[in-house]
Structure 1
């Protein structure tokens, strides 16, 4: 049951145009992909014969599905060349044709949120909990005082008691839950929220860990003498051998477009790129465990720094160095790393579509597998990422720092519907309950999960209605970023943000003002009060720690008529004068009349 390889249709094609055709009765088949009735895609070259119904199936009564979770690193909301995850705000330089095709064939979310940078996002994905929960307690990479000694406030401790930003042993991860339900669990690539690579398997529920460590980034993207180094665990060295002609012919050429064969052939005998190695490891894990349901994380390092010509795969770098700049950010090394990630996604999906499923005879693995693609935070614009019209970048609570692409795909429409765009606000805490629901595995008792299952949104495009929260009681200043202690709530069209240093509120209608340019707090005090009250209560429910006044600062004195949150509780004030001494938590203040 071999299908046309996922990458074949994109090879050596030019950029194409999407044409919307309104229809209620017909579908358009293009190449080897059946598209929903509302979409016809032009410019892909001569169309091939349409698929049979079996190629776009609704497969019922299947065994528990496999799950492949693909996590890109620092991929910006608008970095993709497709339009479906970013409301049309796409890159015109980068090329991500295979991820785009996933978005067209699956469900694309336009309002998906992560945390401000790598570690807190990965902790939320693993635990299903917001940062203030004691079995998470990770808000930022490193520590909460990445602003020097001159800031007015001081962030609280985070992570483990010694300050290590790693998950505690008592945290129950999504891998532990699915493994208890009979899943084989594998991890390949960057892990980051652990003390050591051995803890990934000893403490966090994965049967295998191939390369994951506590490191934030690789020191280099290529192997040297068949060995990866600089933050990459030694388990990945099994996939670090130099490129061979057979490898290039099988794993790179079918997924290449716009690159001559001579350029690809020149890879033979050169050092393996870590993006390809992580993909090799993922496919190897799938092949060794396809006789039972499997959960595998393919956690790529791209497009995290270092981002320079030495880190990109040379065939892709040459392609982008020869390409004219676009109107959007046009950094060849960045685009090459991103397209390498895109090719990896194509390889995995192709493998799922062309490998028979021993648990589901007569079908390929794709017909009982869900693939999710997302990023751990917004793009780092100072390094070449594109966040489109969004304000801010990785490390900031502005939309550009926390809004990310999020796509779900399956060969089985019973698992993931086709051609849907879902505008519900979702976030990383939803991943755990979603994967547990897909795996028909009960959530462990006694854990106050902060997310909700997206399974109805995947299968039926259901709307998800749930406020989304962010809390960062510290600083990340530098590298073009100016993130200070803040908390936010996203509810429907509204985003409300509180700044602790200035005791001010900002309110944005992000459905109309995606760039967060117009602060509506003074015009919509009722919305500020309603959402601000929810945010106060959420902080209290979390028992969230706040930043404290620096020891060498003079006391803060102000009068409050309204509510405050500090020290784990909400307090009502009627014209009270508050004095915040050095070392005390600086509260959230919600005046009865805001503005």
Structure 2
């Protein structure tokens, strides 16, 4: 009696081979899926220049419309208690890019064209965010304002950026001519360029080009977009001034110009976000938006109800708007009063991208907060400092320490230290230096010790070429 043939035996050998091949391919694909890591997120850091805490409609401005920045921030988490490391440009940028207090990377003040009025030398050995992301396989780029050095070894391409397209110097004397002290600091990598157009429009267009190119590759990117606006000179395109003056009855000419410059900037950021969306890059891009310091009061800036503005260690010089977006990871329309500062972006972005955070940073990651988790304060004591000199500033060094609700500051080298309780007096109107000597002495000692720590790092260009 013959045994029954199995169903498999009746299938032709050619079909058996085909089925086995399909099975192997299925197993291979399943194994690959199981081992595949999520694609590394792209990172876009947008840093604007001298934007006041109250100079966005989402932060209370009533005579200004910033729909694109407002919509961007609404996609993620809005911060109401975010601080710049310093009330002026270069130090905050150094802190953001290194994760250290600015004095500890050689940038206590503004880096300028003329050595006798330049107050920093970016420590060549300091590792930057660009270095770290570059080593992790990212294409790194900076578009816009650098302001951390005018010559080797402190140009962007030497500090971790694969691509640099922008302005080396501190400020432009003219948004259309792109000069500082009659020197052309516009560069495409190491090449001097002479592009035509308003700097805000150039930086926007270059960013859109960068994103369109990156969308064609599988390589993740880290892009630092640093606009000059709304820094002086307050020079918006004419049509934007006309638009504001038609809309805002009774607005002063000074305020109208600044509002127009900010609204023009807002439109540029809108184009950048539109490009991210159209290319599909926004599906996996972390976007940071913030300012390098508070707004400049004497050109019409609005810092909300905060005291003072740029160049000051009162709250108006330090507290800045900030928002962070990451689709499907940061809840949209969320808001947080968690305190963080510019340098804390360094470890936060590294951790979010799955990159090992360098050791011994002054900065602390606030990624748990972005993910909606509870998190203890990033530090017990917060330090702010700015060094300056020359006839205009009178050899000025100003500094502050915040500890909990208490803030001790010296906003002029010729004035005594002042003590405020920000919980009961957020506008810094009641100096408690004489009423609470215990807290005054405690914070004064901490501030003095921190300043001594800073003294270990030189901030002037070394006499020999072997900078370390």
TM-score normalised by the chain length of structure 2: 0.79
> Would the aligned equivalents of 2:148 and 2:155 in 1 still touch at CA under 8 Å?
no
Partner of 2:109: 140
- Give the secondary structure class of the aligned counterpart of 2:167: coil
CA change 1:477–1:106 in 2 (3 A) is farther
- Of 409, 413, 430, the residue aligned with 2:328 is 413
Q: What is aligned with 1:122? A: 93
CA distance in structure 2 between the partners assigned to 1:489 and 1:164 by the alignment: 21
**Structure-2 change in CA distance of 1:537 and 1:198 (3 Å):** closer
Contact 2:73 2:323 in 1 (8 A): yes
What secondary structure, in the 3-state scheme, does the structure 2 residue paired with 1:82 have? Answer: helix
User: How far apart are residue 534 of structure 1 and its match?
Assistant: 3.3
- Structure 2 counterpart of 1:523, from 414, 435, 451: 435
Residue number in structure 2 paired with 1:216: 170
Indicate which of 67, 70, 73 corresponds to 2:49: 73
2:406/2:421 contact within 8 Å kept? yes
CA offset digits 1:343-397 (Å, max 9, x no partner)? 1222222222222xxxxxxxx3212111111111111111121112211221111
Match of 2:22 in 1: none
2:272 aligned counterpart, secondary structure: helix
The partner residue of 2:227 within 287, 300, 309 is 300
Root-mean-square deviation over aligned CA pairs: 3.3
CA contact (8 A) 2:186 2:194 kept: no
Q: Distance in 1 between matches of 2:265 and 2:355?
A: 30
2:103 aligns to what SS in structure 1?
coil
More helix by share: 2
- CA 1:483–1:368: 2 relative to 1, 3 Å: farther
Q: Distance in 2 between matches of 1:405 and 1:281?
A: 24
Q: 1:414-471: per-residue Cα shift (whole Å, max 9, x none)?
A: 1x222222212211211211221122112334xx311111211222164451221013
Does the 8 Å contact 1:187/1:299 carry over to 2? yes
Say whether 1:282 aligns with 2:207: yes
1:496–1:61 CA distance, 2 compared to 1 (3 A): farther
Q: Which residue of 2 aligns with 1:382?
A: 298
Distance 2:391 2:373 in 1: 39
Out of 82, 97, 115, the residue aligned to residue 112 of structure 1 is 82
Q: Secondary structure at the match of 2:247?
A: coil
Secondary structure at the aligned position of 2:106 is classed as coil
The structure with higher relative contact order (CA 8 Å, sep 6+) is 2
What SS is found at the alignment partner of 2:240? helix
Q: Which residue of 1 aligns with 2:27?
A: none
Deviation at 1:342, TM superposition (A): 0.9
SS in structure 2 opposite 1:331? helix
Q: Which residue of 2 aligns with 1:314?
A: 238
Give 1:235's aligned residue.
Answer: 188
Change (3 A) 1:278 1:440: same
Q: Which runs of 5+ in 2 are unaligned?
A: 1-35, 459-468
Match of 2:127 in 1: 172
CA distance in 2 between counterparts of 1:70 and 1:530 reads: 37
Once the two structures are TM-superposed, the CA of residue 233 in structure 1 deviates from its matched residue by 1.2
The CA deviation at 1:329 is: 9.2
- Aligned counterpart in structure 2 of residue 196 of structure 1, from 151, 159, 167: 151
* Partners of 2:83 and 2:421 in 1: CA distance: 16
- The structure having more radius of gyration, on CA atoms, is 2
SS at match of 1:346: helix
By how many angstroms is 1:240 displaced? 8.1
**Residues 119, 387 of structure 2: 8 Å contact kept:** no
Unaligned runs of 5+ in 1: 1-59, 84-89, 144-158, 242-270, 356-363, 547-595
How far 1:196 moved relative to its partner? 3.5
The Cα shift of 1:161 comes to: 11
Q: Name the residue aligned to 1:332.
A: 256
Matched residues in 1 for 2:297 and 2:75: separation? 29
User: Partners of 1:331 and 1:486 in 2: how far apart?
Assistant: 28
- Asked whether the 8 Å contact 2:152–2:158 carries over to 1, the reply is no
1:548-588 Cα distance to aligned partner (Å, 9 max, x none)? xxxxxxxxxxxxxxxxxxxxxxxxxxxxxxxxxxxxxxxxx
**More displaced stretch, 508-517 vs 114-123:** 508-517
Provide the C-alpha distance between the structure 1 equivalents of 2:214 and 2:278, rounded to a whole number of angstroms. 16
Give the count of matched residue pairs.
413
Query: Which of 347, 360, 368 is matched with 2:271 structurally?
Result: 347
Indicate how the Cα distance of structure 1 residues 193 and 326 shifts in structure 2: closer, same or farther if over 3 A, else same.
Answer: farther
Alignment partners' CA distance in 1, 2:285 and 2:385: 34
Equivalent residues of 2:78, 2:335 under 8 A apart:
yes
State the alpha-carbon separation in 1 of the partners of residues 255 and 415 from structure 2.
Answer: 39
Partners of 2:120 and 2:437 lie apart in 1 by 38
Q: Does 1:99 align with 2:13?
A: no
| TM-superposed deviation, 1:167 | 1.4
Q: 1:199 Cα deviation (Å)?
A: 4.5
Q: Which moved more, 1:123-132 or 1:203-212?
A: 123-132
Question: Helix, strand or coil for the counterpart of 1:76?
Answer: coil
